[in-house]
């Protein structure tokens, strides 16, 4: 798969069904470092600068301004916008924080499997799917039961899965130790095709038929799939 660079020195990004927003670390002439915010329209592949508030809106939805003030590290966490306007936030310490649409803090849990921490989350109709790299597994957290209800994986299935993304009725699992992407087809949870990234990477995702890869601070894109 041939990839080209969209952006470098990316410290955080968030994707929707139609676009990507990202935070880039830039340096001024005097050597001081600052963050800049950008938006990519995935239909035209045009990039434009945006405000910090607009970036937080993409990442957290309408709760963006509130969560930016309440979270110690808004750019170091993983997030998933929930149906109805709520938001799930996975902090760097693997604590899952659920926020109601009005901004109230609904619940907080350690997210993982067999004492190993979760790394990434994605929201689906079934709940929150998450990766557990140390256990070579992904798991499903029910938002109704507030517990893990399903696990898929093992060393013969996934190889250090870090990133996870949804695309239609598929889950895209980034197996970073083998530089491969495994596809889980829902609702039957059947493992389908494998994509060879052929380079170290942290996350693979798709928007409007186009493939994207996050690798060592770079956002990369391929042509339409």
What was the pLDDT predicted at 224?
59
Maximum alpha-carbon separation in the chain: 56
pTM over the 0.75 mark: yes
Please provide the average confidence, as pLDDT, over all residues in the chain.
Answer: 93
Evaluate whether 90 touches 123 at the Cβ level (below 8 Å). Answer: no
Mind listing the pLDDT tens digit for each residue in 178-224?
Answer: 999 999 998 888 887 788 998 999 999 999 999 999 999 999 998 65
Q: How confident is the model at residue 47 (pLDDT cuts 50, 70, 90)?
A: very high
Rounded to whole angstroms, the Cα distance separating 214 from 43 reads: 19
Rounded to whole angstroms, the Cα distance separating 171 from 132 reads: 15
Which tops the pLDDT comparison, 189 or 143?
143
pLDDT over 90 (residue 37): yes
Question: Which CATH architecture does the domain made up of 4-219 adopt?
Answer: 6 Propeller (2.120)
Rounded to whole angstroms, the Cα distance separating 30 from 141 reads: 47
Rounded to whole angstroms, the Cα distance separating 24 from 13 reads: 9
Mind listing the pLDDT tens digit for each residue in 101-128?
Answer: 988 887 899 999 999 999 999 999 999 9
Rounded to whole angstroms, the Cα distance separating 30 from 211 reads: 37
Mind listing the pLDDT tens digit for each residue in 75-106?
Answer: 999 999 998 889 999 999 999 999 999 888 87
Domain assignments of the chain as residue spans, ordered by start: 4-219
Which tokens in the block code for residue 49?
Answer: 């600068």
Would you call 136 helix, strand, or coil by DSSP? coil
End-to-end alpha carbon distance in the chain? 10
Evaluate whether 132 touches 116 at the Cβ level (below 8 Å). Answer: yes
pLDDT over 70 percentage in the chain: 98
């Amino acid at each position: 798969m041939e990839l080209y660079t969209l952006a470098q020195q990316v410290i955080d990004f968030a994707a929707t069904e139609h676009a990507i927003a990202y935070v880039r670390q830039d340096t001024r002439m005097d050597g001081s470092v600052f963050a800049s915010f950008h938006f990519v329209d995935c239909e035209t592949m045009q990039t434009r600068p945006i405000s910090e508030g607009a970036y937080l809106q993409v990442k957290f939805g309408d709760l963006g301004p509130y969560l930016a003030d309440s979270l110690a590290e808004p750019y170091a966490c993983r997030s998933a916008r929930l149906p109805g306007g709520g938001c799930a936030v996975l902090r760097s310490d693997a604590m899952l924080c659920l926020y109601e649409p009005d901004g109230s803090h609904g619940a907080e849990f350690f997210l993982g499997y067999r004492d190993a921490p979760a790394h990434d989350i994605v929201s689906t109709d079934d709940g929150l799917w998450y990766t557990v790299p140390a256990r070579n597994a992904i798991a499903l957290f029910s938002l109704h039961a507030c517990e893990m209800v399903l696990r898929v994986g093992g060393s013969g299935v996934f190889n250090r899965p870090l990133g996870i993304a949804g695309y239609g009725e598929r889950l895209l699992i980034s197996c970073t130790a083998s530089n491969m992407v495994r596809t889980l087809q829902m609702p039957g949870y059947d493992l389908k095709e494998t994509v060879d990234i052929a380079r170290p990477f942290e996350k693979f995702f798709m928007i409007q038929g186009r493939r994207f890869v996050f690798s060592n601070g770079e956002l990369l894109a391929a042509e339409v799939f």
